[in-house]
């Protein structure tokens, strides 16, 4: 259950940012950039305070996609970066496969990948709200003399991947780097999640996590994360190697490498 909140947060992050106040937008005919702001309650120095979060989203220019102005729901990629002051708190990368809509004209987005990058500040700020499960997990690690380490230049201590498959399922990959017994090692797990048949945004079942120990799988996960890191710096779609993806699916016996299908 300690990762169920991540599933919810990543799904919310991939939806519209209606709860955020839109400040400005710009389009240089390559990247469409929007800036939002929101007030959140955060735990700082043991006290709950209201602080400002700023989020910048970057997507392919509507001059290229022809989708944004026509209000079509298809974004080939989305990079969202959340800041508190000048500090990066959280990053999200999402990629859609654009396909013709079934029930309306234009193109609709079929999700192919979602990734979330969580910093320690994000977890500490939200330790009494949506990140409580993660905070409790980190505290348990400390009790067992296990230290959670930063995994990248953004200060991410936890990176998660969602890869949809089949008609209503997704493979979730949870990755961390830990120091234990004077050794630094990866701590990766996976789980399969099923969604409601009629509403793909509602989780109907989340199976137990499986520890990933196969070095082949870990290597492929690391290579995929490296590609996403590149897209965070230079917003764009990424090429996902099919054989590598099949190897990642070997991380969980319940995951079947089948194409994501949707009627939406």
Choice between 46 and 8, residue whose per-residue pLDDT is larger: 46
Residues 6 or more apart in contact with residue 175 via CB below 8 angstroms: 151, 158, 159, 160, 161, 186, 187, 188, 221, 225
Residue ranges of the domains in the chain?
4-249
217 φ, ψ (degrees, to nearest 5): -65, -45
Read off the pLDDT band of 13 (50, 70, 90). very low
The residue-averaged pLDDT of 125-147 equals 90
- Read off the pLDDT of residues 53-92 as tens digits, 9 standing for 90 and up: 999 999 998 888 776 666 666 889 999 999 999 999 999 9
- Read off the pLDDT of residues 224-259 as tens digits, 9 standing for 90 and up: 999 999 999 999 999 988 899 999 999 999 988 776
For a pLDDT cut of 70, what percent of the chain falls above it? 88
Supply the mean pLDDT for the chain. Answer: 86
Alpha carbons 187 and 208: distance in angstroms, whole number: 16
């Amino acid at each position: 259950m300690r990762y169920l909140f991540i599933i919810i947060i990543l799904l919310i992050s991939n939806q519209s940012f209606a709860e955020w106040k839109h400040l400005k937008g710009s389009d240089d005919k390559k990247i469409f950039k929007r800036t939002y702001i929101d007030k959140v309650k955060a735990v700082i120095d043991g006290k709950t305070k209201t602080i400002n979060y700023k989020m910048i989203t970057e997507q392919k220019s509507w001059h290229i996609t022809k989708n944004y102005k026509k209000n079509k729901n298809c974004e080939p990629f989305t990079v969202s970066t959340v800041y508190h002051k000048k500090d990066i708190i959280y990053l999200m990368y999402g990629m859609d496969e654009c396909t013709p809509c079934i029930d309306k004209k234009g193109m609709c987005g079929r999700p192919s990948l979602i990734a979330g990058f969580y910093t320690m500040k994000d977890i500490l700020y939200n330790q009494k709200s949506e990140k409580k499960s993660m905070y409790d997990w980190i505290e348990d690690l400390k009790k067992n003399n296990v230290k959670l380490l930063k995994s990248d230049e953004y200060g991410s201590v936890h990176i998660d991947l969602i890869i949809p498959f089949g008609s209503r399922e997704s493979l979730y990959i949870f990755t961390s780097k830990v120091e234990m017994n004077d050794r630094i090692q990866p701590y990766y797990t996976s789980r399969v999640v099923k969604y409601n048949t009629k509403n793909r945004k509602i989780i109907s079942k989340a199976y137990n996590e499986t520890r990933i120990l196969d070095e082949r799988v870990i290597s492929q996960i690391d290579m995929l994360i490296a590609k996403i890191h590149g897209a965070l710096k230079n917003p764009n779609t990424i090429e996902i190697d099919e054989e590598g993806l099949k190897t990642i699916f070997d991380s969980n016996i319940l995951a079947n490498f089948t194409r994501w299908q949707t009627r939406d």
